[in-house]
Amino acid sequence: MAADKTPSRGAAVRIDRLRKTFGSAVAVDSISLDIPAGSFVTLLGPSGSGKTTTLNLIAGFLSPDAGAILFDGAVVSDVPTHKRNIGMVFQNYALFPHMTVFDNVGFPLKMRTKLASADARTRILETLALVELNGFEARYPRQLSGGQQQRVAMARALVSHPRLLLMDEPLGALDKKLREQMQFEIKNIHRSIGTTFVYVTHDQTEALTMSDLIVVMNHGKIEQAGTPRRLYETPENQFVADFLGGANLLPGTVAAVAADHFGVAVEGGFTVQVPRDRVVANAGDAVSVLVRPEEVGVALTEDRQAGTECVAGTVTAVGYLGDSLKLEVAVAGIAIGAKLARVRGLSIESGQRVYVSWPRASARLLLRSAR
């Protein structure tokens, strides 16, 4: 049998009203989701949100209590894992310590294919080249760094040319610098092969960096799904806003509704304007005003400009991050966070009186009653 030079395109996955319980605990609560063929989709959420259970249901390690899973329109809910044409990368990599890199990567070919020995060798070497491990064939896992072991696990998952690759927190054991490097490497691999990737993480930076689509989960439900930019810039509720990156959520009440903006009386005694956007709210509604820390400016003197909000406060915390400063400012009893580009010679200290400002156009209104 000739070696297949090009992996098949990714599978389109549909999750239809999927539900899974463990005793009285509902792990996945009737969720529905479409995963486009060839996309990189991240299931993002805190511990207990249902993301790993969802991944295990897609993989076939668990059986759903209700609902269906479809690959390219065909129901696979009752299809055994080994017949679903998927690859899997675990957090601990699960490499065989007594096998060389070559044998670890080639193991799925023995289980799933009938490739001739020469063709299997070609496939293994091609896959190792894909993850930049040429020349490592004879090494054992104990002779590899954490990043190299992660690449071997990726190669083993990809060697049989699966149409769907599932990854469960595969970078969790790596240090920060290596984790950031591997994020781009995994994304580049995805772009080069066209396989559908479904990735589980609780790390917001990983999700924003790598994904075509992010699915934010909480208590077994999908809070919001969309592109990284859409979720970061236009979250639909407070949970998504707060979980996906830093967020200032200023509690208040709608005091006025104009044609193009809301007037919000913020708890603490000051009023701000927020664009109406597509949010539906009425006077008296309990709301939060979302302002991202990177949109907040901090100055030692008052500088009110058109189209901005400007309020006085006191610096309560200063964090030096090298290329930036992270500040917390108390404004009328409310903590407002700011992330400022480092300016040489600028000195801001805890206890200083400052003025915080932000463009009105960067703020977003969120209903506090929303999920």
Residues 220 and 253 in one domain: no
Model pLDDT, residue 115: 78
Contact 14, 63 (CB under 8 A): no
Residues 204 and 288 in one domain: no
Residues 93 and 99: their CA atoms lie apart, in Å, by: 14
Q: What percent of the chain has pLDDT over 90?
A: 67
Mapped onto helix, strand or coil, the DSSP state of residue 341 is strand
* Four-residue CA torsion sign, 308, 312, 314, 316: negative
Residues 272 and 311 in one domain: yes
Contact 356, 297 (CB under 8 A): yes
In what order do the strands lie in the sheet containing 164-168? 86-89, 164-168, 196-201, 40-44, 213-218, 221-226
Residues 62 and 90 in one domain: yes
Is 21 buried (19+), middle (13-18) or exposed (0-12) by CB count in 10 A? middle
| pLDDT tens-digit readout, 189-210 | 899 888 999 999 999 999 999 9
The reply to whether 3 falls in a domain is: no
Q: Give me the numbers of helices (H) and strands (E) for the chain, helices first please.
A: 8, 20
**What's 313's domain CATH number?**
2.40.50.100
Contact 279, 304 (CB under 8 A): no
CB neighbourhood size of 193 (10 A)? 20
| pLDDT tens-digit readout, 142-176 | 999 888 898 899 899 999 889 999 999 888 777 88
What is the number of domains present in the chain? Answer: 2
Contact 51, 45 (CB under 8 A): yes
Residues 324 and 197 in one domain: no
**What's 26's domain CATH number?**
3.40.50.300
Chain CA centroid to CA 65, Å: 27
- Residue-number span of the structural domain to which 306 is assigned: 246-367
Listed residue (252, 238, 246, 241) closest to 331, CA to CA: 252
| pLDDT tens-digit readout, 298-339 | 998 888 888 999 999 999 999 988 878 899 999 999 999 999
Q: pLDDT band for 346, please (50, 70, 90 cuts).
A: low
Residues 228 and 254 in one domain: no
| pLDDT tens-digit readout, 26-84 | 999 999 999 999 999 999 999 999 999 999 999 999 999 999 999 999 999 999 998 89
Contact 315, 308 (CB under 8 A): no
Under DSSP, the state recorded for 121 is H
Model pLDDT, residue 185: 87
Residues 217 and 77: their CA atoms lie apart, in Å, by: 21
Model pLDDT, residue 4: 42
Residues 265 and 199 in one domain: no
Beta strands in the chain (DSSP E): 13-22, 25-35, 40-44, 66-71, 74-75, 86-89, 164-168, 196-201, 213-218, 221-226, 248-257, 261-266, 270-275, 286-291, 297-299, 308-320, 324-331, 334-341, 353-359, 364-367
| pLDDT tens-digit readout, 254-300 | 999 999 999 999 998 899 999 998 788 999 999 999 999 999 999 98
Query: How much is the mean pLDDT over the chain?
Result: 90
Residues 291 and 270 in one domain: yes
Domain boundary residue, one of 191, 206, 238? 238
